[in-house]
Amino acid sequence: MKKVFVTRKILSEGLDLLAQNGFEVEVTTKDEPLTPAELMEKSKSVDALICTMADSINKDFLEKNTHLKIITNYAVGVNNIDLEAAKKFGIAIGNTPDVLTEATAEIAFGLMICAARNFRSAIRNAEEGKWKHFEPQGHLGHALKGKILGIVGYGRIGKRLGEMAHGAFGMDVRGYKRGEDLIAFLKDVDVLSLHIPLTPESRHIIGKKEMAALKKTAIVINTARGDVIDQDALYEALKRNEIFAAGLDVTTPEPLVPTHPLYSLPNVMILPHIGSATYEARRAMSIMCAENIMKAFS
């Protein structure tokens, strides 16, 4: 009987499927990610892993676990996995594309509205008892209708966000094409949304120079990975009101400690990486991980 270890408690649909197909499934009993030593220990005696982006599947881990047939990430992004080393050691890698496209595009869309209309500072204001009157000039934000939405990473999720934004607000959607002049592209956009996978090439693709190219009224949305933005440059731009606002579902590091200076800014909305967190997406991700494993053994 082939054994599968699951590094976090996930929705059970895929695990049931594995059990029905003759796999022995063990799920961690912890409510937090395993330490590297725990992961190493647990992996020794199994044939496949379902892991999350919190698990560092690096060269050392892979070299010591060449008996694993497949490791499947409970995510579409695989930046936590050394793909080259996995290939070298003959370990198949799986992920969960497509099934979380809608959920992640919805979060980007939601963040875009929240950032454009100052949800964060307005909610704080109401909760802190500062809502005394209707404010004719308070909480002013920017309309989205007809504005330019620039998407860096025009793949599944980026395109779906583009459809939503065009359909709902008639936004002029522009996908950045590799090789194009990024600075020139950024100069025009009203909202910049990032959907690019994190690789050595895309790390800090939006840095100080790129931030400076954006309009003072620009909004930055990131639902990809924290490191595609130079977070210090983003912080400075937001603090000095060189851009209008940001909506982030991803940060560097994750979790972002509550004392982090970004939280002190009224014009940034931070979510704890919930892009794929719908019942529908997470169920489908569970099933896709199971299918990845079954395929690897068939």
Tell me the closest approach of the beta carbon of residue 31 to ligand DGY, in angstroms. 18
For residues 77 and 94, which CB has a smaller minimum distance to ligand DGY in the complex? Answer: 77
Dihedral sign for Cα 266, 267, 269, 270, please. Answer: negative
Does residue 57 touch ligand DGY according to CB under 6 A?
Answer: no
Enzyme catalytic residues: 225, 254, 273
Does residue 276 touch ligand DGY according to CB under 6 A?
Answer: yes
Tell me the closest approach of the beta carbon of residue 57 to ligand DGY, in angstroms. 14
Fill in the DSSP letter of residue 175: E
Binding flags for ligand DGY, 164-203, as an x/- string (CB under 6 A): ----------------------------------------
Does residue 75 touch ligand DGY according to CB under 6 A?
Answer: yes
Percent composition of the chain: helix, strand, coil (DSSP 3-state, to 5): 40, 15, 45
Q: Please give the helix or strand (H or E) that residue 61 lies within, else none.
A: helix 59-63
Does residue 292 touch ligand DGY according to CB under 6 A?
Answer: no
For residues 27 and 54, which CB has a smaller minimum distance to ligand DGY in the complex? Answer: 54
Tell me the closest approach of the beta carbon of residue 247 to ligand DGY, in angstroms. 15
Q: Which residues contact 276 (CB under 8 A, 6 or more apart)?
A: 75, 76, 96, 100, 103, 104, 282, 285
Q: Which of 93, 161, 275, 286 binds ligand DGY (CB under 6 A)?
A: 275
Dihedral sign for Cα 184, 187, 191, 193, please. Answer: positive
Buried b (16+ CB within 10 A) or exposed e, 40-76: eebbeebbbbbbebbbebeeebbeebeebbbbbbbbb
Does residue 108 touch ligand DGY according to CB under 6 A?
Answer: no
Does residue 7 touch ligand DGY according to CB under 6 A?
Answer: no
Alpha-carbon 193 to chain mean position = 12
Tell me the closest approach of the beta carbon of residue 97 to ligand DGY, in angstroms. 8
Q: 248 forms bridges with which residues in the sheet? A: 222, 270
Tell me the closest approach of the beta carbon of residue 252 to ligand DGY, in angstroms. 14
For residues 251 and 276, which CB has a smaller minimum distance to ligand DGY in the complex? Answer: 276
Alpha-carbon 33 to chain mean position = 17
Q: What is the contact surface with ligand DGY in residues (CB under 6 A)?
A: 75-77, 100, 275-276
